[in-house]
Amino acid sequence: MAAGTLYTYPENWRAFKAQIAAQYSGARLKVASNSPAFTFGQTNRTPAFLNNFPLGKVPAYQGDDGFCLFESNAIAHYLSNDALRGATPQVAAQVLQWVSFADSEIIPPASAWVFPTLGIMQFNKQATEQAKEDMKRALAVLNQHLNSRTFLVGERVSLADITVACSMLWVYKQVLEPSFRQPYPNVTRWFVTCVNQPQFKTVLGEVKLCEKMAQFDAKKFAEMQTKKETPPKKEKGGKDAAKSQEKKEKKKEEKKPAPAEEIDDCDAVLAAEPKTKDPYAHLPKSAFVMDEFKRKSQIPPMFTGMFQRLDKLRKTAFASVLLFGTNNDSSISGLWVFRGQDLAFPLSPDWQIDYESYDWRKLDSKSEECKTLVKEYLSWEGDFKHVGKAFNQGKIFK
Ligand SMILES: N[C@@H](CCC(=O)N[C@@H](CS)C(=O)NCC(=O)O)C(=O)O
């Protein structure tokens, strides 16, 4: 029988999967989720932790025998018994099917929909609407499957139910209001059955279903942004880890935090991130205020994916990037202006997004070629000779 410690932050739904599995199997599991035993954002960055769990992510499991595992599904699998995992190859494969379904069909829309309501992600209407549609699709599949079944696989709770129910915890608590869940009664019946099993209840406590769909919490979001700027507090605590840990866990049980606080701990990863060094700190102040130039020249919005993620370059770079060619036969080419003399992307880990997908060439600012290209790219007109005939004959997508 497995025995060991699960490192996590409090109220982590990924850790719940392992904790519930252990409740069923009888695996002896200690949970280290508070200082001094474990402080998320600190302990998981120590060399000792990284030596066992190279990603530095939680949940992470270490057996009393030294056996280490990361990835919540693997940990929950390890802490299960055969009844939970599926006793035959077919049943075990069906369990795995639902575990994967949770990861790929539920978690992405659940996160996109719920995170803004908790203030840990900016609201994007289109993304939220898409998430609702994706969630409806997953719910419809589940509802159909559960039409004639009590549990997802077989006649008893399996790891499939544990995993899928835990992945839906936040949607059921936060956004699946009665009218939204009304078309999927089998799913709600199954979810309520699961979370009311004693083994679930011991871990989750009382699960209250959402009454009114939570909306984007702009105030909380602003607070979180400020928090991210603030360096984390130093970890306190003596050596008597186990005892003090137990006391804290008990206190926590008595006083469950509000939902937004619960998930703060995950976001604390970002909050605890050391502030990245300014790659331009060594350069003298420049008279060329790029941000202002861009606003005044009204350079249009550009290729969204890469550019959205390069927001931090806003004040030190600008570009005009165009898509040449026709559908399924196109090429992207652009002109960039950076502060300093070097290509900006390699200067900071925050900027190294997609830049390797392109070839980069420094232009001689005094050359005729440079003057032509500046004119062409900023006006979106011209021969664009360097792009190549094939693409250049097509349309320029602006
Ligand atoms: N696929 C992993 C995801 C684990 C994960 O992303 N954990 C986050 C907390 S929500 C973490 O520990 N992040 C710490 C970090 O990235 O430094 C699992 O299911 O265990």
Residues whose CB is less than 8 angstroms from the CB of residue 159 and which lie 6 or more positions away in sequence, other chains included: 17, 21, 76, 77, 80, 84, 85, 86, 95, 99
Going from the C-alpha of 46 to that of each of 49, 70, 226, 303, the distances in angstroms are: 5, 16, 25, 38
Lookup: tokens for 312: 């931090």
- Which of 9, 13, 14 has most ligand 1 atoms within 8 Å of its beta carbon, as the pocket-test mutant? 14
Check residues 68 and 366 and name the one with the higher pLDDT: 68
76 and 24 within one domain: yes
Rounded to the nearest whole angstrom, what is the distance from the C-alpha of residue 57 to the centroid of ligand 1?
4
Residue 282 lies in a domain: no
pLDDT at 286: 76
CA dist 81 and 240 (Å) reads 33
pLDDT at 161 over 80: yes
pLDDT at residue 350, as a whole number: 56
Ligand 1 pocket test, pick from 12, 58, 107, 162 with the greatest ligand atom count within 8 Å of Cβ, gives: 58
Upper half-sphere CA count for residue 3 (Cβ side, 13 Å)? 4
Please report the atom of ligand 1 found closest to the CA of residue 45.
17
Across 266-293, average pLDDT: 59
> Is pLDDT of 240 > 50?
no
Q: 332 pLDDT band (50/70/90 cuts)?
A: confident
Helices 159-167 and 185-195 meet at what angle, rounded to 10?
110
The boundaries of the domain holding residue 342 are 290-397
pLDDT > 70 fraction of the chain, expressed in percent and rounded: 75
What total number of domains does the chain contain? 3
Q: Which of 72-81, 88-97, 118-127, 298-307 has the lowest mean pLDDT?
A: 298-307
CB 9 within 8 A of CB 40: yes
Res 1: pLDDT: 84
The CA distance from 357 to 354, in Å, is 6
> 335 and 392 share a domain?
yes
Is the residue at 278 inside a domain?
A: no
Q: Whose CA is nearest to atom 12 of ligand 1?
A: 57
| Residues facing residue 31 across a β-bridge | 6
Backbone angles phi, psi at 187, to 5 degrees: -70, -45
For residue 112, report the distance from its CA to the centre of ligand 1, in Å.
16
List 396's β-bridge partners, or say none: 324
Atom 16 of ligand 1: nearest residue by CA position: 57
pLDDT at 81 over 60: yes
pLDDT of residue 289: 75
What residue's CA is closest to ligand 1, atom 13?
57
DSSP-based three-state secondary structure for 133: helix
Residues 124, 170: one domain? yes
Residues 120 and 134 in one domain: yes
CB of 61 within 8 A of CB of 68? yes
pLDDT for position 344: 82
Q: What is the pLDDT of residue 196?
A: 98
What are the φ/ψ torsions at residue 5 (nearest 5 degrees)? -120, 140
Quick check: 283 pLDDT over 50?
Answer: yes
Q: Is residue 25 part of a domain?
A: yes
CA–CA dist 27, 30 (Å, integer): 10
pTM of the model: 0.63
Distance 193 CA to ligand 1 centre (A): 28
- Does the pLDDT at position 71 exceed 50? yes
Check residue 154 and give its pLDDT.
Answer: 97
Ligand 1 closest atom vs CA 71: 20
Confidence category of residue 294, pLDDT binned at 50, 70, 90: low
- For the chain, the average pLDDT equals 82
- The percentage of the chain sitting over the pLDDT mark of 90, rounded to a whole number, equals 54
The pLDDT value recorded for residue 394 is: 45
User: For residue range 13-63, what is the model confidence (pLDDT) as tens digits?
Assistant: 999 999 999 999 999 999 999 999 999 999 999 999 999 999 999 999 999
Measured from CB, residues less than 6 Å from any atom of ligand 1 are: 14, 56-59, 71-72, 266, 269
In this predicted structure, the answer to whether residue 96 has a pLDDT above a threshold of 60 is: yes
Is 281 part of any domain? no
Q: Quick one: 244 and 313 in the same domain?
A: no
d(C-alpha 209, C-alpha 175), whole Å = 9
How far away, in angstroms, is 71 Cα from ligand 1 center?
A: 8
pLDDT given at position 327? 67
Q: Which of 99-108, 145-154, 382-391 has the lowest mean pLDDT?
A: 382-391
pLDDT at 183 over 90: yes
Residue 154 lies in a domain: yes
CATH number at residue 263: 3.40.30.10
Which stretch of DSSP H or E encloses residue 268?
Answer: helix 259-272
Domain identity same for 110 and 61: no
Q: Please tell me the predicted confidence (pLDDT) of residue 106.
A: 98
pLDDT the model gives residue 290 = 72
**For residues 208-219, average pLDDT:** 94
**Nearest residue by C-alpha to atom 19 in ligand 1:** 72
- Boundary (domain end) residue, out of 144, 173, 204: 204
Report pLDDT for 11.
95
Task: Give the per-residue pLDDT at 302.
Answer: 55
For the CA of 58, the nearest atom of ligand 1: 12
More confident residue, 297 or 378: 378
Do 304 and 253 lie in one domain? The reply is: no
**pLDDT value, residue 397:** 42
CA–CA distance, 359 with 357 (Å, rounded to integer): 7
The 3-state DSSP class for residue 251 equals: helix
Distance (Å, whole) CA 252 – CA 247: 9
- Which pLDDT band holds residue 264 (cuts at 50, 70, 90)? very low
Q: Which residues of 209-243 are buried (b: 16+ CB within 10 A; e: fewer)?
A: ebeeebebbeebbeebeeeeeeeeeeeeeeeeeee
Angle formed by the axes of helices 107-117 and 125-145, to 10°?
130
The confidence score (pLDDT) of residue 323 equals 75
Contacts of 199 (CB under 8 A, 6+ apart): 20, 23, 24, 157
Comparing 390 with 78, the larger pLDDT belongs to: 78
Same structural domain for residues 90 and 193?
Answer: yes
Question: Once rounded to an integer, what is the mean pLDDT over residues 354-373?
Answer: 81
